[in-house]
Every structure is written in C-alpha cells, then in structure tokens.
Structure 1
Amino acid sequence: MAGAPRLLLRFEGLALLAAATVGFHLTSLSWWLYGVLFFVPDVSFAAYGAGPRVGAVVYNALHSTIGPALLAGTGLLLGDARLLGVAAIWAAHIGFDRMLGYGLKYASGFSDTHLGRIGRPDHAQADA
C-alpha cells in the first residue's frame, strides 16, 4: 500500500478518530473513561500467544468497525449513553490504529495487514 490510497486511508482513520471522539464528548461521560478504555482493544495482542490464526481472528474482531457500530446501534435503541460512549471510544481506537497504518490482520502473521505489511522492512528479502 503506497501513494494516494495509503494517504487517503490514513486520513480516513484520522476522520474516524475525530468523529468518534466528538461523539464521545456528546455523551457527556467522563473523560477518564475515555482514557481508561481507549487501548482496551489492544489486549487482543495476547491472543497471538495461541498462534497467528487465533491471534488474527481475535485482533480483527476487536479492530473491525462492526463491533462498535452494533454497540452504538444498541445504545441508540435503548437510549443508553454509556453504550454510545463505549462504542465511540472503541471506534476512536480503530480510527487511531488506521491512522497509524495498522490494518486488519491476516493469519500469516501480525505484520501482514489489509493495509500492507507493517514494521521494519526485512533487509534480507529487500536485498534479494
């Protein structure tokens, strides 16, 4: 992933981070909650201890916008600002990760994402 599409996807992540953060503000919940919960989806890294296939499934489940969208929909139906706030924090985290270039994972390994390979380039392969 390079060039204009890469830049566009990074800005898309920034837009999600910003919109979700504003959405959280509109819930009038405490900002300490935002700070405490923001990196909770990253506990999914621990699933890589069970192997890359399991790790990718768990990571993707917590880093896809499907979860926060369903949670936000439930919050709207129930009129529950807490659910809306948690959904906003979750979405903000996903936007933050996308802004940094972290994508959904493939089972081949943590560094293989739908946005391209992350991490330092493998100089042995680059020199080949």
Structure 2
Amino acid sequence: MIADQAQDRMWRRLEGLAVGGAALYLAYMLEPDWPWWVWPVIFLAPDLSFFGYLFGPATGAITYNLCHIYGFGLGIAALGAAGWGADTATPWLVAAGLVVLGHAGIDRALGFGLKRRAGFQDTDLGQLGRKG
C-alpha cells in the first residue's frame, strides 16, 4: 500500500513536469518577444493566493487550490483563445494562461501538491518540510 502511494506520487510529479514544461514551451512559442520580466511576474502570480491563509487554513487551502489546479491556467488560456474582450483570439492571454498552467505543473513536479484544510504543509502529495 505504501509503495503504491509512493509510486502514485511519483507519477503525479512526472505528470506535473510534463505539463509544466509543455505549457511553458507553448507560451514561449506564442509570445517569444515578451520582455524578460513578464515571465516571472505571470509565473509567480498564482502564489498571491497564499494571502488566503491570513483568513485561516481552510480558506487558504481553497484560494491556493483554486489558483493551482490545471483548470485555472487552462481557463485563462481558453478565454484568450475565445477572444475574450476582443473580436478575435488574444494570443497574449493564451500565453499568460499557459504560463499559469506551467506554474501549477512545476509546483507539482517539485512536490508542492494541492493543499488540505489542515494546513499549508499538508498536501495531496504528502507532507512538506521536515518530519518530526
């Protein structure tokens, strides 16, 4: 049972690496001329969801998870593809959504899973930090 859980975590981390790498590559293909500073600003934007923890671990877990599920970045990209706010597709918004998706994937690859209500350290990929 424990070996199965470890293998499951490994596969989810590898999936995160694949999603993150592919999403960032596709974003670069769409917007290769963005200034360098745009990339870290968009990439780190989902981490503003940490402020939800100011209102307790349950609220923090909800805000963090909403901004770190794959669907959040995909939703932003879909809005761009549908031409949200314009008559045609908006490539920069598609690319921004892909960067957010890349953030979620890289977080998974590094072991920062989705949070549980018990606290920031308790994730679906296991405990963060030192044990004991």
Q: What range is the shorter-chain TM-score in?
A: 0.7 to 0.9
Count of aligned pairs between the two proteins: 122
2:52 counterpart residue number: 47
The Cα shift of 1:90 comes to 0.2
Calculate the TM-score normalised by the size of structure 1. 0.87
Residue segments in structure 2 that go unaligned for 5+ positions in a row? 84-88
Q: Of the candidates 27, 31, 42, which is equivalent to residue 30 of structure 2?
A: 27
Question: Does the C-alpha gap of structure 1 residues 31 and 94 become closer, same or farther in structure 2, counting only changes over 3 Å?
Answer: farther
Amino acid in the other structure paired with 1:51: G
Tell me how far apart the structure 1 counterparts of residues 47 and 40 of structure 2 sit (CA, whole Å).
14
- Which deviates the most, 110-119 or 49-58? 110-119
1:126 counterpart residue number: none
Q: Which ranges of 4 or more aligned residues in structure 1 deviate by more than 2 Å?
A: 1-4
Percentage of pairs with the same residue: 35
Calculate the TM-score normalised by the size of structure 2. 0.85
The Cα shift of 1:31 comes to 4.9
C-alpha RMSD over aligned residues? 1.5
Q: Secondary structure at the match of 1:87?
A: helix
